[in-house]
Structures are given as structure tokens and as C-alpha cells.
Amino acid sequence: MEKKPHFVRREFLTREVSSISLVLLLVAVLLLNVLLYLYLNKFYSSLGRTERDPGLCPFGHFKLGAVKNCSPWLSCEAINREVRKLKCVGEGAVKKVFLSEWKENKVVLSQLTNSELKEDFLHGLKMLKALQSKHVVRLLGYCEQQFTILTEYHPLGSLRGLNETLHIPKYKGMNTWHHRLMLAIDYVSVIRYLHSSPLGTLVMCDSNDLDKVLSQYLLTSDFHILVNDLDALPLVNRSAGRLVKCGHRELQGEFVAPEQRWPYGEDVPFEDDLMPPYDEKTDIWKIPDVSNFLLGHVEGSDIVRLHLFDIHAACKKKDPVERPSAREVLDTYRKVLTLLVREAVMPGTREML
């Protein structure tokens, strides 16, 4: 019987090993894709959970802490009897904010400070009641007669303190492009929710500079974003010809959208009656600036910015009609997250194949 040359056997073995390696590589890629799918599915499920009360309570009720049962919003009597002020933690043009306690839970009590602005205060309360969802701070009770609102307490405070929070040893592990991009997705999700809210298209008017915008949002302990201040949230109704103006004063600076600035030049004194109204696309103009803050300057954040360049350029179109909707921006952010997570999980896979 004739024996095959050794080089033929070696060639056969080499091909067999190469085939096995390729199969193993394909199996590994498949498993990584499955893991990636499960991860992203879990992430998007958390983003897409019900828009209603985050505690899964019926309208007009809430759950707090480890309590399993839903309680009705606290009335004037209950607030006066059961809520104890601890200290003042903030004061704005409309209200003063107190860290308080209710049944061993930390809560926030807000009270009107300027009677001339009571309409703004009551408008904020109306919005807070109507917009309860996973995007909005949880309402615990209110007293219209005493101009008092009770909401859930979030110890990390407003988004203004994000960078300081991420320097705390406990939270340093969250200071990555991945977690920061997820915060940006949360922020755009809030804008999308306001633009398609149960009440109609709402514009976030308390947003004339970056610091003011950041003060309107809270950072939760599990690193999500909630909108907290809804005092200035006018309604756009195109079918009825209703547009909005954010206040009665002249707005200036690059942060506000072009259509929010006085269009008649410096030679013509500002008059509120002559100022043209505008729509929700002013919020879209501001998204790149807020996201730039949220992304920070960590490893990988510049790559994220590069992937978001086109959608951010579209947000900065001078003509508001040419800007994308909040839904389109949100879809792009999610696609970028999916792409970058896949690249992080499977670096160089395409080249290996």
C-alpha cells in the first residue's frame, strides 16, 4: 500500500485546524452577539418601560422607598401633620426648597416665595401632576392653598453637580463614555417625552443658558435623569396657530436658538410685542451643548462625539424646520450606543474574519 507523503498529511491537518479555528471563531462571534443582544435588550427595556407612574401606582398615588403599597398623594392636612422640615437646600425666583422628612423617608418640600409668581408655581404643579412618568420627579403630595409641593428626594441633586459626583470614590466607576452616553440618552428621552406628552407638545423654556438647563434636572442614585422644574413649560399647538415665547425679556447668546433672539438688530429697541414666537425646535438646538457637558472628557468620549457629529450639526441648523425631531435624535443616540458597545465587545472581529 502506497503511503502518502508527509507534506500532504501536514497540508490536510493545517486545513483541518484552520477550519476548526474558523468554526470556533464564528461560534464565539455568535455568542458575543447573543450576549450583546441580551444586554442591549435589557437596556432598551429599561428605557421603554411604561411612561406612567414609575412606581406602577395608579394616577394620584405613589410608592416610596421599600414600601410595597401605593399611597394617595398627601393632602394639605397630611403634609402639615406628617412632614417635618429639616433644612433649606435651595431657593429660586419662584420657590424655596426644603429637605424634609416623611415617615422616616427624606423628601423635598417646595414653597412659593414670591406671591407675584403664584401663577408660575401653580402651572408647575399642574404640569407635575399631569406628566407623572419615568421621566419626571415623583410627586408625593401638594397643597394649593398654601402653595406647597412635596416630591421625592434625590441626594445627588441637580445635573450641575455631575462632574463633582463622578469624582466621589463611590461613583468613579460610572465615569466612562458608556455611562455618560446613557445619561445623554436619558436627557434626550425627556425632551422627546415633553414634545409628545399627554398634554401635547411642550417646550422647556427655563433653558436660556447651560447652567440653567442643568439645574432643571435631577441625577438619581442609579444614574438616570429626571426633569424636576416644570414652571416654564408652554404648549405649542400648530393646528390652532399657537406658538410660544420663553418669557418677555430679550434673550441673547449662542446657547439660545437663533429664532429666540431679537431679529431686528441693535438699532431697533427690543419690544416683546414685536418678538416673533417659535416652537419646540428651540429645545433641539440646545441638545448638542447639553450632551457635550454630559459626555465630559473621559477616554472614548471624543469617539462618541465623532459618531454624533452629523446629528448634532443637524440640531444646529439655523432654520428650525430643518432640525430633526427629538425622536430622530433619540434614535440616532441609541444606534450610536449599540454600535460602540458592539465594537467594544468585539474589537477587530471583522479583520479576523
- CATH code of the domain containing 95: 3.30.200.20
104 lies in the same domain as 224: no
268 lies in the same domain as 322: yes
Count Cβ neighbours within 10 Å for each residue of 218-235 and write b for 16 or more, e otherwise.
bbeeebbbbbbbbbbbbb
204 lies in the same domain as 179: yes
162 lies in the same domain as 132: no
Tell me, yes or no, whether 263 lies in a domain. yes
Residue 72, beta-bridge partner list: 61
Q: How many helices (H) and strands (E) does the chain have?
A: 11, 11
Tell me, yes or no, whether 199 lies in a domain. yes
Tell me, yes or no, whether 233 lies in a domain. yes
Cα 55 to chain centroid, rounded = 19
Tell me, yes or no, whether 25 lies in a domain. no
Asked if 110 and 148 count as a contact pair (C-beta separation under 8 A), the reply is yes
Tell which of 153, 173, 190 closes a domain. 153
List per-block mean pLDDT (blocks of 10 residues) for the chain, which spans 353 residues: 56 61 61 55 48 70 86 96 95 92 95 92 95 96 97 97 96 96 98 97 96 96 95 92 94 96 95 97 98 97 98 98 98 97 68 42
Q: What per-residue confidence (pLDDT) applies to 67?
A: 79
Q: Residue 16: phi, psi to the nearest 5?
A: -65, -45
Domain range for 342? 154-347
Query: What letter represents residue 73's amino acid?
Result: W
315 lies in the same domain as 333: yes
The whole-model pTM stands at 0.84
Residue 149, beta-bridge partner list: 110, 142
The count of C-alpha atoms lying within 13 angstroms of the C-alpha of 311, restricted to the half-sphere facing its C-beta, is: 25
C-alpha 299/C-alpha 178 separation (Å) is 10
147 lies in the same domain as 204: no
111 lies in the same domain as 211: no
β-bridge pairing 139-143 and 105-112 = unpaired
Rounded to 10°, the helix 326-345/6-47 angle is 150
Tell me, yes or no, whether 227 lies in a domain. yes
Within 8 A by CB and 6+ apart from 85, the residues are: 98, 99, 100, 109
227 lies in the same domain as 320: yes
Q: What per-residue confidence (pLDDT) applies to 53?
A: 45
Q: What per-residue confidence (pLDDT) applies to 145?
A: 95
Within 8 A by CB and 6+ apart from 307, the residues are: 336, 339, 340
Counted residue by residue, the chain has a size of 353
173 lies in the same domain as 290: yes
C-alpha 110/C-alpha 98 separation (Å) is 6
Tell which of 153, 180, 213 closes a domain. 153
193 lies in the same domain as 330: yes
Return the DSSP state at 278: B
Tell me, yes or no, whether 14 lies in a domain. no
Tell which of 153, 182, 197 closes a domain. 153
Tell me how many domains the chain contains: 2
What are the angstrom distances between the C-alpha of 235 and each of 21, 34, 123, 216? 61, 43, 12, 18
186 lies in the same domain as 276: yes
Tell me, yes or no, whether 34 lies in a domain. no
CATH number at residue 322: 1.10.510.10
Tell me, yes or no, whether 224 lies in a domain. yes
167 lies in the same domain as 148: no
